[in-house]
Every structure is written in C-alpha cells, then in structure tokens.
Amino acid sequence: MSTGQTWTVGVTGATGYAGGEVCRLLAGHPNLRLAGVHANSSAGRRLGELQPHLLPYAEMVVQPSDASGLAGYDVVVLALPHGESAAIAAQLPADTLVIDCGADHRLTDPAAWARWYGGGGPGAEDSWAGSWPYGLPELPGQREQLAGARRIAVPGCYPTSVTLAMAPALAAGLVEPEIVVVAASGT
C-alpha cells in the first residue's frame, strides 16, 4: 500500500468478537476505510445496536455475508466461525486482498484441520484452502511471503502467543523442538 492511498474494507462477521475488533482497529487506520459490515444473523440491523463501542460506525447497516456483496472492496476480512470462510473466499475476485481470521486456511492437511477444529475441513471446492500464507510477519521469512500475498490466513490466538514466545528460544537452540503447551483463555 502506498502512502496516501485509501483502501476500502468490508468485514464479514463484523458483529462477532473478532470482527468487532477488526472494525475497532480500522477506525484508527489512516489508509483503510471501513466501507461495509456483514453478518447473516444480523443483516438489516445497525452496527451500533450490536457493537455499541464502535461509535464511528454506529449507523452502518449490517449486510448479508455473501460473496457478491463483498466483491467490491479492496480488502475483505473474513471473521467467521471455522468452516464458513472457505466457500465465500473461493468466490471473491483474485485481485481482492482477503484476510481470513478463521481457521479455514490455516492448515494444509484436511485431516489435521478436522482434528484441531472438529469438522470435516475446508470444502473441497475451495482451491485456496490450505495454501494461504500464515500472517505472522514476526517470524523469519514470513514478511517477504506476505508482502505480495492477496490471501492471508491469520493465525489463532494460542499459536500466535506460543510461537512468538518460543521462536527465539528455538532459533537459539535453547529448548528441545518437542514442546507441550497447556493454555487457557479467559474469554
């Protein structure tokens, strides 16, 4: 993105936790403009009714989460439950930057996806499933891989916290590569 250029952003799943956080972060970004909010379960309602802390966007009306409604944005953020992003992403234009906050594009192995996320894995019709760069630019080589990507898989909160904490120790050979992590969330 060049300085001064403004990109339009559509967020689907904007009424959930992750989508709401994306909208909150967009409010302070000088080059990104939230142009549309989408969520099937809340279509037709004002965003302010569902996310009252998002004052800059309170009057935006939530639209359905379908590919045709998302196709006009420069950037689409998919903040959907596991198993719901792949079908929409497969229908979006190739030149749209798509960022998937869900799990659909994090893993390359459908069996591993089913094991960790409890489903049958991303739909077979989705040619992108499993092939998106992992959006963790702090790791060696990732920043370069992400620079030209039009599809990005956002890592989950647990893998991010563990990876960022352990990567320096692993790189320095200070710990064994077989690591067991037990984590709990307060949400």
Nearest one of 71, 112, 125 to 95, comparing CA atoms: 71
Of 114 and 173, the one with more pLDDT? 173
Residue-level pLDDT at 104? 86
Same domain, yes or no: 120 and 179? no
Among 36-50, 85-99, 101-115, 149-163, the least confident range: 101-115
The letter for the amino acid at 42 is S
Binned at pLDDT 50, 70 and 90, residue 118 comes out as low
Q: Given a cut of 80, is residue 57 above it in pLDDT? A: yes
In this structure, the answer to whether residues 94 and 54 fall within a common structural domain is yes
Q: Is residue 2 included in any domain, yes or no?
A: no
Give the domain extent around 160: 156-187
The pLDDT score that the predictor gives to residue 124 is: 38
Same domain membership, residue 124 and residue 38: yes
Same domain, 151 and 174: no
pLDDT band at residue 2, thresholds of 50, 70 and 90? Answer: low
Q: Which residue has the tokens 């229908």?
A: 91
Q: Residue 121 — very low, low, confident or very high, per pLDDT cuts 50/70/90?
A: very low
For residue 96, give every residue at least 6 positions away whose Cβ sits within 8 Å of its Cβ, in sequence order, or none.
70, 71, 73, 74, 75, 76, 150
Q: Which residue is associated with the tokens 């190739």?
A: 94
- Per cent of the chain over pLDDT 90 is 64
* Catalytic residue, candidates 124, 157, 165, 171: 157
Split into its structural domains, the chain has a count of 2
Instruction: Look at 84-88, 122-126, 136-140 and tell me which has the smallest mean pLDDT.
Output: 122-126
23 is catalytic: no
> What predicted TM-score, i.e. pTM, was given to this entire model?
0.86
Is pLDDT above 80 for 16?
yes
Angle (CA) 165-1-145 rounded to 5° is 45
In this structure, are 176 and 136 located in the same domain? no
Within 8 A by CB and 6+ apart from 122, the residues are 83, 86, 104, 105, 110, 113, 129, 130
Residue-by-residue DSSP string for 84-142: SHHHHHTTS-TTSEEEE-SSTTT-S-HHHHHHHHSSS-S-TT-TTTT-SPB--TTSTTH
User: Based on the domain organization, do 185 and 101 belong to the same domain?
Assistant: no
CA–CA distance, 8 with 31 (Å, rounded to integer): 9
Q: β-strand 7-12 against 75-78: which pairing, if any?
A: parallel
- 116 and 175 part of one domain: no
